[in-house]
Amino acid sequence: MNKFIQNIRNKIQYRRDEKTHFIEEDLDCEVTDEIEKALWELKEGMDLPTEEVEKAEDRSNTARKDSIFFAVTQRIKNVTLESINKPEFRENFFTGVGQSTVNIATSPQLFKTETMSLLYNDDTYKRLELATTLDPQKADTARKRLIDGLQAQFNIASTTISGSAKSSFFKLTGLGEIEYDLERRIDTGQIRMDREVLPLVKGFASKHYNGNVTQMVADRARRLTTFERSQVENVGFKFNVAFQDYRKMTKNSNSLKFYIDNMKKLGVPTDQIESTLIRPVDADPSLSSGSLENPWQIVWSDETDADDKLFASIKKGQYYTDINGDVRIKN
């Protein structure tokens, strides 16, 4: 909490010489107890009028976006790379950074990337770089405030993604690695599946994906024939639904790259964060082809119906491994 409060104080440090600190807009918004307490701490330290603190507490997400838009367009963007050499223009730039980041850092809601990009872009960073050579102290404060707002939104995004991941049938097995939990899908899915699903999916994964169900799902089971896909989907397992689950997981993870890329540009080490991003699952080349040299490596089960369907997927004249691991040819 102390660090959070100090970050809030840093947001307006370079405006101590002004008599009044205006916080624009006063629409409805629910703030957390932590933000509310931090705002009161800020008031006591900076002698802000009570009504201004109340405005900050009551600000809606729409009002925050409007304030960010105003700060960026009327203050930051109005300062060119040439005019930033003048103290009054440079101060306008710092003020714009302060107004926009205080709205971002204290927001309990996640902003769209489009809104964040108004402030976090290369044009802002170029102005900041020039300002650093002219007024290092205030530029450093502005940089910290940019980082603070970025990290606050990153935390909200991460929390949101973590909540979404709880409903996924993919589980994290290591840094950046996921695995499809087929057993959980069968046991806890909303649509009840036939008991054949488990041996069939595993059987075809062994035939075409070296036994890797996750790779098969991520590849949308492209290697399966139409007949094989129908055998699986007729007992309740839909490859497209499983793939959409995978796509959602990877898409959510990729959405964090915006924050990471901008943290890098602001000088924040990101190696540890990047290592947690979900890496795409690529299907390895199949080791089986049905030939004598590379027979179908099929995992057989105790489910007679499932095994019959797996056996039916093998064409006459193709080689396969039987339940004992011996290579046989289908006659």
Q: What pLDDT is attached to residue 102?
A: 87
pLDDT class for 57, splitting at 50, 70, 90? low
With respect to residue 112, please indicate whether it lies within any of the assigned structural domains: yes
With respect to residue 134, please indicate whether it lies within any of the assigned structural domains: yes
Q: What pLDDT is attached to residue 187?
A: 83
H or E, element range at 328:
strand 327-329
Burial 158-197 (b: 16+ CB within 10 A, else e): beebeeebeebbbeeeeeeebbbbbeebbeeeeeebeebb
Q: Answer yes or no: do 7 and 120 share one domain.
A: yes
Q: Answer yes or no: do 16 and 158 share one domain.
A: yes
The residue among 113, 132, 136, 135 whose CA lies nearest residue 124 is: 132
pLDDT in tens, 205-240: 999 999 999 999 999 999 999 999 999 999 889 999
Q: What pLDDT is attached to residue 6?
A: 53
Q: What pLDDT is attached to residue 190?
A: 61
User: Which DSSP symbol is given to 108?
Assistant: S
- What mean pLDDT, rounded, does the chain reach? 83
Total domains, the chain: 2
With respect to residue 59, please indicate whether it lies within any of the assigned structural domains: yes
With respect to residue 311, please indicate whether it lies within any of the assigned structural domains: no
Q: Answer yes or no: do 191 and 245 share one domain.
A: yes
With respect to residue 12, please indicate whether it lies within any of the assigned structural domains: yes
- Asked whether the predicted pLDDT for residue 113 surpasses 80, the reply is yes
Q: For residue 200, how far is the Cα from the chain centroid?
A: 33
With respect to residue 325, please indicate whether it lies within any of the assigned structural domains: no
Q: Answer yes or no: do 83 and 220 share one domain.
A: no
pLDDT in tens, 234-290: 988 999 999 999 999 999 999 999 999 999 999 999 998 898 899 999 999 988 889
pLDDT in tens, 163-183: 888 889 999 888 889 999 999
- Asked whether the predicted pLDDT for residue 99 surpasses 60, the reply is yes
Across the range 103-109, mean pLDDT stands at 86
Q: Answer yes or no: do 87 and 191 share one domain.
A: no
Q: Answer yes or no: do 28 and 121 share one domain.
A: yes
Rounded CA-CA distance 100/207 in Å is: 56
Please, are residues 23 and 59 in contact by the beta-carbon 8 Å criterion?
Answer: yes
pLDDT class for 89, splitting at 50, 70, 90? very high
Rounded CA-CA distance 308/200 in Å is: 10
Helix (H, G, I), strand (E, B) or coil at 238: coil
pLDDT class for 103, splitting at 50, 70, 90? confident
Please give the residue range of the domain that contains residue 228. Answer: 171-283
With respect to residue 309, please indicate whether it lies within any of the assigned structural domains: no
Q: Answer yes or no: do 18 and 140 share one domain.
A: yes
Tokens of 245: 């689950």
Q: What pLDDT is attached to residue 85?
A: 94
Last residue of a domain, which of 264, 283, 302? 283
With respect to residue 268, please indicate whether it lies within any of the assigned structural domains: yes
Q: Answer yes or no: do 226 and 126 share one domain.
A: no
Q: Answer yes or no: do 115 and 186 share one domain.
A: no
Place of tokens 């009327």: 74
Last residue of a domain, which of 135, 165, 195? 165
The residue among 7, 278, 305 whose CA lies nearest residue 146 is: 7
Q: Answer yes or no: do 139 and 224 share one domain.
A: no
Q: What pLDDT is attached to residue 49?
A: 36
Please, are residues 89 and 83 in contact by the beta-carbon 8 Å criterion?
Answer: yes
Last residue of a domain, which of 266, 283, 300? 283
Across the range 305-319, mean pLDDT stands at 91
Q: Answer yes or no: do 159 and 223 share one domain.
A: no
Q: What pLDDT is attached to residue 26?
A: 36
Measured torsion, CA atoms of residues 253, 255, 260, 265, in degrees rounded to the nearest 10: 160
Helices then strands, each counted (H, E), the chain: 16, 4
| Higher-scoring residue by pLDDT: 189, 232 | 232
Place of tokens 């509310």: 36
Helix (H, G, I), strand (E, B) or coil at 327: strand
Q: What is the pTM assigned to this prediction?
A: 0.71
Q: Answer yes or no: do 134 and 209 share one domain.
A: no
